[in-house]
């Protein structure tokens, strides 16, 4: 029997907007749910998600009901579904390094976010009864991401690190989650079917036929605030590393591979355009090359994976799993602690879902 799954979020932006809409569609229009891999994971349906807390530093979001905040001007996600009032207001979170770089030029921090005591987050997670905290802070917000991770561990709340900032790759934080008996998923959420998923699947295919990959690249452009933030090389450094880790897991030397993001194009809004090229040697040294242009709506692509990750995190918390849930992370994240090929990652994820069914 289903029961509600209490979810909190740090960073109530475009990806969160799409997740809220996805859960609303599951309740309102279940027959139209394309992209749901599993109707239930550990007994949880997507419609069971209940959003109990949201933290942000944007002055224009703080204080708004979640149903209104996801339509705020800095949220690029398209409104596909009408979301009813949720009686949950966005709360100020600690500013820390969240608006360093280009974001600080377009977003004004709420005054309560400055010099805020991070322990407020821990207390609010406990008070709201949150079971899972999703971290959707901007790339480059290392201090902010790790602050929310510590708050979740201390509050006994499962943590999903959708950012490329190190949590599953930080030994001290992993040890904290293990010592507190709290599950952790991360790092750097994959898209449901995005450039990295397609790229690694193609590399798997070529390797399965014995072809030798010679050169490859993955270039991505978009127009939402994520791409604005990533236009700063300092802020995007962790994302570049994460994408290279994902390609390395697919069996190539990706240390010098160009792998997006590569540009902010404002008029694209929440549309992401990816360009892939792979060059390889086949039978008798004959050359093979392929090029793909992929266009997707960026935020729903994240929501599809979050729909899986949140429910996995909840089942792990119920089972008192301590630390990283390695069996699912290679499929759900670009930079897991234990990388795997696309095929192996999918197999392990599906096995986990069957185990908790």
Question: How do residues 228-272 score in pLDDT, each as one tens digit?
Answer: 999 999 999 999 999 999 999 999 999 889 988 889 999 999 999
Instruction: Single out the residue in 248, 282, 297 at which a domain terminates.
Output: 297
Q: Report H helices in the chain.
A: 14-28, 66-69, 119-128, 142-155, 171-180, 195-208, 225-230, 233-249, 298-318, 326-332, 342-356
DSSP, collapsed to helix, strand or coil, labels residue 336 as coil
**32 pLDDT above the threshold of 80:** no
Let me know whether 106 and 252 are in one domain.
no
pLDDT of residue 73: 83
Let me know whether 58 and 175 are in one domain.
yes
pLDDT band at 1 (very low <50, low <70, confident <90, very high): low
pLDDT of residue 31: 76
pLDDT band at 357 (very low <50, low <70, confident <90, very high): confident
Let me know whether 208 and 228 are in one domain.
yes
Instruction: Single out the residue in 259, 280, 297 at which a domain terminates.
Output: 297
pLDDT of residue 2: 62
pLDDT digits (tens, 9 = 90+) for 175-215: 999 999 999 999 999 999 999 999 999 999 999 999 999 99
What mean pLDDT value characterizes the chain? 95
DSSP code string of 17-59:
HHHHHHHHHHHH-GGG-TT-S-SEETTEEGGGEEEEEEEE-BT
pLDDT of residue 3: 84
DSSP, collapsed to helix, strand or coil, labels residue 265 as coil
- Residue 261, C-beta contacts closer than 8 angstroms, at least 6 positions apart: 220, 221, 222, 227, 230, 231, 236, 239
Let me know whether 213 and 347 are in one domain.
no
**109 pLDDT above the threshold of 70:** yes
d(CA 357, CA 340) in angstroms, rounded, equals 23
Let me know whether 53 and 138 are in one domain.
yes
In degrees and rounded to multiples of 5, residue 250 shows phi and psi of -85, 0
Burial class of residue 65 (count of CB atoms within 10 Å of its CB; 0-12, 13-18, 19+) = middle
Let me know whether 290 and 308 are in one domain.
no
**Share of residues in the chain with pLDDT > 90 (%):** 92
Considering the entire predicted model, what is its pTM? 0.95
Let me know whether 279 and 350 are in one domain.
no
Let me know whether 44 and 94 are in one domain.
yes
Buried b (16+ CB within 10 A) or exposed e, 43-55: bbbbbbbbbbbbb
Which whole-number Å values give the CA distances from 288 to 182, 210, 280, in the listed order? 47, 12, 5
> Closest Cα partner for 346 from 323, 322, 330, 325?
330
Let me know whether 328 and 285 are in one domain.
no
- Residue 89, C-beta contacts closer than 8 angstroms, at least 6 positions apart: 54, 62, 63, 64, 65, 66
Expressed as residue numbers, the domain containing 72 is 5-190+300-356
Q: Is the dihedral of CA 58, 61, 63, 65 positive or negative?
A: negative
Let me know whether 254 and 205 are in one domain.
yes
- Structurally, how many domains does the chain consist of? 2
Let me know whether 169 and 268 are in one domain.
no
DSSP, collapsed to helix, strand or coil, labels residue 97 as coil
Instruction: Single out the residue in 271, 297, 323 at which a domain terminates.
Output: 297
pLDDT digits (tens, 9 = 90+) for 83-101: 999 999 999 999 999 999 9
Q: What is the CATH number of the domain that holds 225?
A: 3.30.360.10
Q: What is the CATH number of the domain that holds 75?
A: 3.40.50.720
Q: Are 331 and 346 in contact (CB under 8 A)?
A: yes
Let me know whether 256 and 335 are in one domain.
no
Buried b (16+ CB within 10 A) or exposed e, 10-38: bbbbbbbbbbbbbbbbbeeeeeeeeebeb
In degrees and rounded to multiples of 5, residue 291 shows phi and psi of -130, 140
d(CA 242, CA 253) in angstroms, rounded, equals 14
pLDDT digits (tens, 9 = 90+) for 335-356: 999 999 999 999 999 999 999 9
């Amino acid at each position: 029997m289903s029961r509600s799954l209490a979810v909190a979020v740090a960073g109530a932006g475009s990806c969160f907007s799409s997740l809220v809409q996805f859960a609303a569609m599951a309740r309102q229009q279940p027959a139209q749910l394309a992209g749901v891999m599993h109707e239930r994971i550990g007994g949880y349906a997507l419609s069971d998600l209940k959003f109990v807390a949201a933290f942000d530093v944007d002055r224009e979001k703080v204080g708004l009901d979640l149903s209104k905040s996801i339509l705020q001007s800095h949220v690029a996600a398209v409104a596909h579904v009408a979301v009813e009032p949720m009686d949950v207001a966005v709360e100020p979170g600690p500013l820390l390094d969240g608006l360093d770089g280009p974001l600080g030029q377009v977003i004004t921090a709420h005054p309560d976010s400055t010099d805020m005591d991070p322990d407020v987050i821990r207390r609010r997670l406990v008070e709201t009864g949150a079971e899972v905290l999703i971290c959707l802070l901007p790339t480059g917000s290392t201090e902010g991401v790790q602050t929310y991770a510590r708050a979740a561990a201390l509050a006994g709340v499962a943590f999903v690190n959708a950012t490329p900032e190190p949590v599953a790759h930080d030994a001290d934080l992993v040890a904290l989650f293990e010592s507190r008996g709290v599950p952790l998923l991360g790092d750097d959420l994959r898209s449901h079917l995005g450039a990295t998923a397609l790229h690694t699947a193609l590399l798997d295919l070529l390797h399965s036929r014995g072809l030798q990959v010679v050169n490859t690249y993955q270039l991505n452009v978009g127009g939402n605030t994520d791409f604005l933030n990533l236009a700063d090389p300092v802020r995007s450094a962790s994302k570049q590393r994460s994408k290279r880790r994902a390609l390395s897991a697919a069996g190539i030397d990706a240390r010098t591979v160009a792998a997006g993001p590569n540009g902010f194009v404002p008029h694209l809004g929440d549309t992401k355009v990816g360009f892939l090229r792979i060059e390889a040697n086949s039978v008798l040294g004959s050359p093979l090359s392929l090029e793909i242009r992929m266009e997707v709506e960026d935020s729903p692509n994240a929501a599809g994976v979050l729909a899986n990750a949140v429910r996995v995190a909840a089942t792990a918390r119920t089972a008192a799993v301590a630390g990283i849930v390695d069996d699912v992370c290679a499929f759900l994240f670009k930079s897991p602690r234990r990388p795997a090929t696309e095929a192996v990652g999918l197999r392990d994820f599906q096995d986990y879902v069957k185990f908790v069914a």
